[in-house]
Homo-oligomer: A and B are copies of this chain.
Amino acid sequence: MAVYTDISDEDLSAFVAGYGIGEVLSCKGIAEGVENSNFLLVTDQAPFILTLYEKRVDANDLPFFLGLTEHLAAQGVPCPTPVRAQDGQVLRTLSGRPAAIVTFLNGMWPKRIQNYHCAQLGRAMAQLHVAGADFKLTRTNALSVESWRPLLDACQGRGDEVLAGLTDELYAELDVLEAEWPGNLPQGIIHADLFPDNVFFRGENLSGLIDFYFACTDQFAYDVAICLNAWCFERDGDFNATKARKMLQAYRDVRDFSNAEMQALPLLARGAAMRFLLTRLYDGLNTPENALVTPKDPLEYLKKLRFHQAVSGPGAYGLD
């Protein structure tokens, strides 16, 4: 849940007057995006999303994020397009914060994942990977394998408050991940956070990808691995091989997925599980007990990690 910066009417009117998007009819804070304040801004022309960037996003990264979505949208990837102000800028200032207006995407994120969601996701993710190829900027993945040990260190052994033995188990896994992490797979722009709440559908059709604030330059197959974890496990913890197959088949319709990428998938999926397990663990340990935000369960990702540790190869995912 975002902290909402209050915007005065006068500031908002003056800000919006800098764009050719009509008169403001309404502006409501919305419960979308954890890192920023997001508002649904309705003018007499169209709805838009107004984002004020709060401290958790590094202002130096904003040209990358805004430039990337502008580039991807121009290539036909359904994502929010920054609106240029009349002075040509996409990143301006409102209520003392960096601010941008982006186009509004219809659709809703799926609460219960069906097979067709996974197929549509696979296709859109591959389109994103292909469309990012000629984007000029790069951004290091600040949450890749090098970051995990410092993150676990920062938990100061308190993982055992969540589950006895957890800290040792994670350090042992880190040893494997650091030793075996691949570095030569095809890479480019990845979304790195394509969870269901960042993917909109209208009916059975994918209508938008949002929240590019973890996007970075990394191996494409790692994005696929993140989605295997986020989309292909059922609520009871079971892996659904049909969903994985649907996702990867649709991906391959758009972009080749090499044998080397396929063979690396179990390890990448372990790494992807580790990354979300660690941020959830750290956030959970550092969230006040009575806060209104319920920390996400790190143990959901421990189950996924253990599942991938046990597989013999990508065939176990129903993939070939």
Where the two chains meet, the residues of A that have a C-beta atom closer than 8 Å to any C-beta of B are 1, 3-4, 6-10, 12, 24-32, 40, 42, 47, 104-108, 110-112, 201-202, 288-293
Minimal Cβ-Cβ distance residue in B for A38 = B28
Give the residue of B42, B202, B289, B293 whose beta carbon is less than 8 angstroms from that of A292. B293
* B residues near A292, Cβ cutoff 8 Å: 1, 3, 291-293
Minimal Cβ-Cβ distance residue in B for A107 = B26
CB distance A107 to B25 under 8 Å? yes
* B residues near A32, Cβ cutoff 8 Å: 28-29
Give the residue of B1, B4, B104, B291 whose beta carbon is less than 8 angstroms from that of A288. B291
CB distance A12 to B288 under 8 Å? no
What are 10 of the A-B contact pairs (CB < 8 Å)? A3-B292, A6-B111, A7-B111, A9-B112, A25-B106, A28-B40, A29-B30, A31-B31, A42-B106, A292-B293
Give the residue of B8, B202, B290 whose beta carbon is less than 8 angstroms from that of A111. B8
* B residues near A293, Cβ cutoff 8 Å: 292
* B residues near A104, Cβ cutoff 8 Å: 26
* B residues near A288, Cβ cutoff 8 Å: 288-291
CB distance B291 to A110 under 8 Å? no
Shortest Cβ gap from A95 to chain B (Å): 10
* B residues near A290, Cβ cutoff 8 Å: 288-291
* B residues near A4, Cβ cutoff 8 Å: 31
Shortest Cβ gap from A257 to chain B (Å): 29
Extra contacts besides A3-B292, A288-B288, A290-B290 (11): CB < 8 Å: A8-B111, A8-B112, A9-B108, A9-B112, A10-B112, A24-B108, A27-B108, A30-B31, A30-B40, A288-B291, A292-B292
* B residues near A31, Cβ cutoff 8 Å: 4, 28-31
* B residues near A9, Cβ cutoff 8 Å: 108, 110-112, 201
Given the complex of chains A and B, what is the CA–CA distance between A24 and B31 in angstroms?
18
Give the residue of B10, B24, B108 whose beta carbon is less than 8 angstroms from that of A12. B108
Given the complex of chains A and B, what is the CA–CA distance between A107 and B4 in angstroms?
18
Given the complex of chains A and B, what is the CA–CA distance between A27 and B290 in angstroms?
28
Shortest Cβ gap from A271 to chain B (Å): 29
Given the complex of chains A and B, what is the CA–CA distance between A9 and B206 in angstroms?
14
